[in-house]
């Protein structure tokens, strides 16, 4: 009877020119062969199929239905630019349908953008959210979504919030949860288990991570199963991943998967496996971060940093002291990217480990706290942590990692220089050089002498500084670590600029952009732009100097690097002075003086002489009362206010003038 019905259908369509629409075909995917049969028997027939996944028939053309365009909440967009996004347009239309007084304006734009972004640009989710505007304003709705995303137990899940009672809409489209469950239920039990386990990842995952964390007890092959879910539009291949195959899941689907994980009781053991995997990955990566493979491993860890951050949150909540110490130690080198977050991680680790006996890992955690404090300009705090770490290492018989100890001793040498104790600084650098040459650690030798060389030329020993910086660059090139090569290039270029050797400086700086490309090293990028600023100032190219300095400010402010910001303030002051902005120059000089005074740092003689001359020139161009007021204004500024002042009063006007 089935065959006779199919034959009749075939016969009826054989000579007709027709478009046949088959909707929601994923529910009858086994009938795909019948589609092929119809197409073969009916030469003028075209079939349009809507389905979660392809039918995998010869001659099939797949057209993915994209998500609605959603503005990035972090982008500074005009109201017109926000309104041009299709997700915002849909939200606006549906909101006006239930609340005629709704308009997209300066008050509602930001919460609407956040809502559309959190809902991944999913049309149904946005329609259901907009329907809630009947009872809430846009800020109120965002606040409720925020509570739901926080999982604080004071609000229902976002998925359960997204409901609408429209009698003329299919039941599964009245709740976003039911729509997702409709697709989830089509998966086999092991496939359902894999899907909900993948929801644990934050910001994406690799095949290796999925294999290690999610596959226990499942009769599935990992990678083929991931591609099956890509075909079903349950996950996506990450378009941002250049070095490794990565997958992602929409946040709305993640929320569904996480609820299912809790319901099945799998969450706790899965979090343990995830913590073990990512801690091991970070420990493996750090073994390669001083050599030629450093950039690849650096990007590997940063690609999974959201997952590592989630692991850290779990480790802290569970008070897993051993894992916390391991993770803190492994992430030390990544604190250059965000010293504020690194400091929080290190201090929380030390709090967890307050009653732990001395160990190499405890030395590393203490050192990390000191290093991050140093990056942030908390110099006395940093020195105390570093001295404590050295004391702990002595207790355990000097078993701590030599690279950690070398960084510590180098920072203590810089601290001595900052206090004006130049003999102590030289003695510490010399002792470190002796230790590292005995060990034969070329990376550590290069790092030590690059900082030592800077101090030598700043104390007027230009030839000695030149020799050290040249050796450091040679060693860094031999070791092959991009971060070290970049530091050596910019530091050597800076000395060329001081000596008036501008072409030599330019020839070194031109090597930096290829090393920085896709490197995810904001600290080195900021230093590169700082050196380019100095070169442009020396050449009298003030517009170019302003453009480079703006980028350097951005990087140093984002990473929290105190020493970088100090150099930025002084370059901004020089730029202002060169452009006749004398009050602004005095403000910046005063602000920088207050900043370094607050941390117990003094200027070396060469710098003091240069800054005194700049201040005298600026004062000579102004009424004394005006100059005094500018100095008082600068002294009262916070670091954030100084950055904003430099951008607003110096960089933007000068950059615009070209």
**What are the tens digits of pLDDT across the range 411-424?**
999 999 999 999 99
pLDDT at 384 over 90: yes
Six token digits for residue 455: 């101090």
Most confident range, picked from 147-156, 431-440, 575-584:
575-584
Q: Please, are residues 55 and 63 in contact by the beta-carbon 8 Å criterion?
A: no
pLDDT, one tens digit per residue, over 110-150 is: 999 998 888 888 888 888 888 888 888 888 888 877 654 44
The CB density around residue 66, as the number of other CB atoms within 10 Å, is: 8
What is the structure's pLDDT at 181? 84
Six token digits for residue 377: 């300009």
Six token digits for residue 505: 């400086």
- Among candidates 151, 122, 147, 123, which has minimal Cα distance to 136? 147
Sign of CA dihedral 22, 25, 27, 28: positive
Angle value at C-alpha 111, between 107 and 115, nearest 5 degrees: 155
What is the spatial distance between Cα 553 and Cα 525, in angstroms, rounded to a whole number? 11
Q: Could you tell me which CATH number the domain at 177-210+217-264 has?
A: 1.10.10
Q: What percentage of the chain's residues is helix, strand, coil (to nearest 5)?
A: 70, 5, 25
What is the structure's pLDDT at 133? 86
Q: Look up tokens 């030598």; give the residue.
A: 456
- Among candidates 500, 445, 502, which has minimal Cα distance to 473? 445
Contact residues for 354 (Cβ-Cβ < 8 A; gap 6+):
none
User: What percentage of the chain reaches a pLDDT higher than 90?
Assistant: 65
pLDDT, one tens digit per residue, over 516-533 is: 998 889 999 999 999 999
pLDDT, one tens digit per residue, over 481-497 is: 999 999 999 999 999 99
Phi-psi region of 19 (alpha: psi -120 to 50; beta: other; left: phi over 0): beta
Six token digits for residue 371: 């290093």
Contact residues for 292 (Cβ-Cβ < 8 A; gap 6+):
479, 480, 481
What is the structure's pLDDT at 656? 59
Q: Please, are residues 411 and 425 in contact by the beta-carbon 8 Å criterion?
A: no
pLDDT, one tens digit per residue, over 301-352 is: 989 999 999 999 999 999 999 999 999 999 988 888 889 999 999 999 999 9
What is the structure's pLDDT at 59? 81
pLDDT, one tens digit per residue, over 506-518 is: 999 999 999 999 8
Burial of 315 (0-12, 13-18, 19+ CB in 10 A): buried
The CB density around residue 227, as the number of other CB atoms within 10 Å, is: 14
Measured CA distances, 46 to 12, 41, 404 (Å): 14, 12, 68
Q: Please, are residues 138 and 83 in contact by the beta-carbon 8 Å criterion?
A: no
What is the spatial distance between Cα 125 and Cα 127, in angstroms, rounded to a whole number? 5
Q: What is the pTM of this model?
A: 0.83
The region of weakest confidence among 163-177, 360-374, 603-617 is 163-177
Q: Look up tokens 């365009």; give the residue.
A: 69
Q: Pairing state of beta strands 18-22 and 45-49? A: parallel
pLDDT average, residue stretch 264-275:
95
Q: Please, are residues 363 and 389 in contact by the beta-carbon 8 Å criterion?
A: yes
What is the spatial distance between Cα 19 and Cα 42, in angstroms, rounded to a whole number? 11
- Among candidates 372, 368, 401, 370, which has minimal Cα distance to 383? 370
Phi-psi region of 153 (alpha: psi -120 to 50; beta: other; left: phi over 0): left
pLDDT at 10 over 60: yes
Helix, strand or coil for residue 8?
helix
pLDDT at 272 over 70: yes
Number of H helices, E strands in the chain: 35, 5
pLDDT average, residue stretch 569-580:
98
What is the spatial distance between Cα 196 and Cα 236, in angstroms, rounded to a whole number? 15
pLDDT at 453 over 80: yes
Burial of 61 (0-12, 13-18, 19+ CB in 10 A): exposed
Alpha carbons within 13 A on the beta-carbon side of 136:
16
Note the residue count of the chain: 658
Q: Pairing state of beta strands 246-248 and 236-237? A: antiparallel
Tell me, which fold does domain 401-520 have in CATH? 1.25.40
- Mean pLDDT (the chain, rounded): 90
> 247: part of which helix (H) or strand (E)?
strand 246-248
Contact residues for 57 (Cβ-Cβ < 8 A; gap 6+):
32, 35, 36
What is the spatial distance between Cα 82 and Cα 69, in angstroms, rounded to a whole number? 10
Dihedrals phi, psi of 212, to nearest 5 degrees: -75, -35
Q: Please, are residues 410 and 370 in contact by the beta-carbon 8 Å criterion?
A: no
């Amino acid at each position: 009877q089935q065959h006779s019905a199919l034959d009749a259908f075939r016969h009826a369509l054989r000579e007709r020119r027709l478009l046949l629409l088959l909707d929601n075909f994923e529910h009858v995917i086994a009938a795909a062969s019948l589609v092929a049969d119809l197409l073969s028997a009916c030469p003028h027939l075209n079939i349009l199929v809507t389905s979660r996944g392809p039918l995998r028939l010869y001659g099939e053309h797949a057209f993915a239905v994209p998500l609605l365009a959603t503005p990035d909440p972090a982008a500074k967009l005009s109201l017109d630019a926000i309104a041009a996004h299709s997700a915002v347009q849909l939200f606006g239309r549906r909101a006006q349908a239930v609340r005629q007084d709704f308009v997209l304006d300066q008050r509602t734009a930001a919460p609407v953008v956040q809502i559309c972004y959190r809902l991944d640009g999913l049309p149904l989710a946005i329609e259901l959210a907009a329907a809630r505007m009947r009872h809430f304003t846009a800020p109120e709705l965002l606040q409720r979504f925020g509570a739901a995303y926080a999982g604080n137990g004071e609000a229902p899940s976002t998925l359960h919030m997204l409901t609408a009672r429209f009698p003329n809409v299919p039941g599964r489209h009245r709740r976003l949860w039911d729509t997702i469950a409709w697709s989830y239920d089509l998966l086999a039990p092991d496939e359902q288990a894999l899907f909900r386990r993948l929801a644990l990842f934050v910001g994406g995952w690799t095949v290796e991570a999925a294999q290690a964390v999610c596959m226990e007890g499942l009769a599935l092959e990992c990678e083929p199963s991931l591609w099956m879910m890509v075909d079903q539009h349950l996950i996506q291949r990450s378009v941002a991943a250049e070095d490794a195959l990565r997958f992602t899941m929409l946040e709305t689907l993640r929320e569904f998967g996480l609820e299912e994980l809790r319901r099945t009781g799998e969450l706790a053991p899965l979090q343990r496996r995830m913590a073990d995997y990512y801690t091991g990955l970070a420990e493996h990566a750090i073994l390669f971060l001083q050599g030629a493979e450093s950039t690849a491993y650096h990007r590997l860890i940063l690609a999974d940093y959201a997952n590592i951050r989630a692991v850290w949150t779990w480790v802290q909540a569970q008070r897993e002291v051993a894992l916390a110490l391991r993770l803190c130690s492994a992430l030390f080198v990544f604190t250059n990217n965000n010293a504020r977050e690194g400091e929080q991680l290190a201090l929380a680790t030390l709090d967890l480990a307050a009653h732990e006996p001395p160990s190499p890992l405890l030395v590393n955690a203490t050192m990390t706290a000191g290093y991050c404090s140093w990056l942030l300009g908390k110099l006395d705090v940093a020195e105390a942590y570093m001295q404590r770490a050295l004391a702990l290492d002595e207790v355990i018989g000097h078993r701590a990692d030599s690279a950690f100890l070398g960084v510590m001793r180098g920072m203590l040498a810089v601290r001595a220089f900052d206090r004006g104790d130049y003999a102590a600084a030289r003695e510490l650098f010399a002792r470190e050089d002796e230790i590292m040459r005995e060990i034969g650690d070329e990376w550590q030798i290069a790092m030590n002498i690059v900082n030592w060389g800077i101090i030598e030329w700043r104390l007027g020993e230009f030839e000695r500084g030149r020799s050290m910086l040249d050796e450091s660059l040679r060693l860094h090139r031999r070791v092959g670590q991009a971060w070290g090569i970049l530091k050596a290039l910019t530091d050597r270029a800076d000395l060329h600029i001081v000596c008036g050797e501008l072409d030599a400086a330019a020839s070194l700086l031109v090597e930096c952009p290829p090393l920085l490309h896709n490197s995810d090293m904001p600290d080195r990028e900021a230093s590169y732009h700082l050196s380019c600023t100095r070169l442009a100032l020396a050449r009298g190219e003030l517009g170019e100097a302003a453009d480079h300095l703006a980028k350097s400010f951005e990087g140093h402010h984002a990473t929290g690097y105190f020493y970088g910001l100090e150099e930025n303030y002084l370059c901004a002051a020089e730029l202002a002075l060169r452009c006749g902005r004398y009050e602004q120059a005095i403000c910046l000089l005063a602000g920088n003086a207050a900043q370094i005074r607050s941390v117990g740092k003094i200027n070396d003689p060469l710098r003091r002489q240069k800054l005194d001359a700049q201040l005298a020139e600026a004062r000579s161009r102004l009424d004394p009362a005006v100059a005094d007021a500018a100095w008082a204004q600068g002294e009262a500024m916070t670091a954030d206010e100084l950055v904003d002042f430099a951008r607003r009063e110096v960089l933007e006007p000068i950059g615009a003038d070209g």
